[in-house]
Amino acid sequence: MNYRIVDGLDKMKFEDIVRLLRMTYWADKRPIEKIEKSLRNSSCYGIYVEEAGKLVGFARVISDYATAYYLCDVIIDKEYQHKGLGTALISYIDSLPEFSGLRGFLITRNAHALYRKFGYEVVNDRVMVREPNR
């Protein structure tokens, strides 16, 4: 499957991000104004599948770029899940120098296996942390 990862909100359509967020259990009812504000105040990443010609994955990161970052709103379109795209997107974000050496946090109900591949450990049922010892 041919895909490309984009870095920056200017490379994605707002309505495509909203479509993906509406597929989630955590943001399906999030007001449009909050989505827009959250995107403006985050680093945003998307994944396009060339054959589909559309955005099929999204993630954003909130950070102080000195001590910690919060990885959130990670979503892959249901039609494209379990094809390695989530791993590719997280791998891309994980490789960025601006997050190297920072403590990473995320909250997930059901994707622990994905994040364990990148060194995140479960703190409680849903919170995962990656220590900055890398």
* Domain range annotation of the chain: 3-99
pLDDT (mean) for 44-57: 94
Prediction pTM value: 0.93
Residues in the chain: 134
**What CATH code would you report for 3-99?**
3.40.630.30
Distance between CA atoms of residues 58 and 20, nearest Å: 7
Among residues of the chain, what percentage have pLDDT more than 90?
90
Place of tokens 């891309």: 92
Residue partners of 65: CB distance under 8 A and separation at least 6: 98, 102
Place of tokens 């990443």: 45
pLDDT (mean) for 77-105: 96
Which band of pLDDT confidence, cut at 50, 70 and 90, is reported for residue 1? confident
**pLDDT for position 21:** 97
pLDDT (mean) for 20-46: 97
